[in-house]
Structure 1
Amino acid sequence: MSANTLQGWRLRPATSEDVEPMAEIRAAAMRPDLERLGRYDEHRVRQRLRDAYAPEYTTVVEAGGAVAGCVALRPSEDCFWLEHFYLAPEIRGRGIGTAVLTGLLARTDAEGAPVRLNVLQGSAARSLYERHGFAPEREDPVDVFMVRLPGGGS
């Protein structure tokens, strides 16, 4: 897909073998927010990714030759769903998430499609999404559901 050797990371298509490393990254990435919300469960945090995993829509972030993150962009009837966007805690803050999201949104903008996602209440990831043009559609006690219209800016 693309490479960014200056920062030592790259993107590649996911395979079925990537699900377990991704489940571990999801658990590490989500643990602080899920604990804050009183919803962390060692098994469930991993199983939710396993149950929804669709390698055909998923991209792996590699850093140092290892799986360090993932993101899925799943088409639906009237939009794309941005799902399972997780980076290992040790690679956050290096601009990788911004670069990955910018690339995905360029693709959805070219297709003229809105993008939807949900983020945990109080998650720091919400500010990343807002900087890229996502706005809340609705909220519940656990999640904020957001949408970005085509050309929503970044």
Structure 2
Amino acid sequence: MEPSLRALGRFDPDRARARLLDGFEPAACTVVEAEGRIVGFYVLEDRGADLFLSHLYIAHEVAGQGLGATAMKRIVSEAGGRPIRLGALKGSAANRFYQRHGFVEERRTEFDVYYVRD
């Protein structure tokens, strides 16, 4: 997320680290692997009626190889038909990624766009 945050003039490594730690639930974390090494992860929180994707990260050096799309297929499968919600930073390329995978905008805040995929 650093490039997106820098583009908005909002990159602060301490805030980024705190956001990650605040939303990180180890039991809800799934690693993404490629060629036997960890290249990313996602955190999918079960909230009963829906799921919340609080993190989805793929290492820059392997971005664009379909690993995010593969992870998203797995996330959708895990949802078992329940809605999936998430937030993305305004101006981030992640917004296009989520829209391509069937997420539609629910609301906006000053810095984020929130999506749902039914």
How does the TM-score come out when normalised to structure 1?
Answer: 0.72
Q: Which residue of 2 aligns with 1:86?
A: 57
The 5 Å alignment of 1:8-87 reads 30-87=1-58
Of 106, 115, 118, the residue aligned with 2:87 is: 118
Residue 99 (structure 2) pairs with residue 134 (structure 1): no
The 5 Å alignment of 1:2-13 reads none
1:59-89 per-residue CA deviation (whole Å, 9 max, x = no partner) reads: 0113354432110110114210012101111
RMSD: 1.4
How does the TM-score come out when normalised to structure 2?
Answer: 0.92
How far is the alpha carbon of 1:56 from its aligned partner? 0.7
1:30-77 per-residue CA deviation (whole Å, 9 max, x = no partner) reads: 111111111110122112212222111110113354432110110114
Distance of 1:136 and 1:53 partners within structure 2: 23
Of 76, 95, 98, the residue aligned with 2:66 is: 95
For structure 1, the residue ranges without an aligned partner over 5 or more in a row are: 1-29, 150-154
Deviates more, 1:136-145 or 1:41-50: 41-50
Aligned length: 118
Q: Which runs of 4+ in 1 moved over 2 A?
A: 62-67
Instruction: Please tell me whether the aligned partners of residues 23 and 54 of structure 2 are also in contact (alpha carbons under 8 angstroms).
Output: no
Distance of 1:106 and 1:65 partners within structure 2: 23
- Identity within the alignment, %: 42
Instruction: Please tell me whether the aligned partners of residues 42 and 53 of structure 2 are also in contact (alpha carbons under 8 angstroms).
Output: yes
Greater Rg over alpha carbons, structure: 1
Q: Secondary structure at the match of 1:138?
A: strand
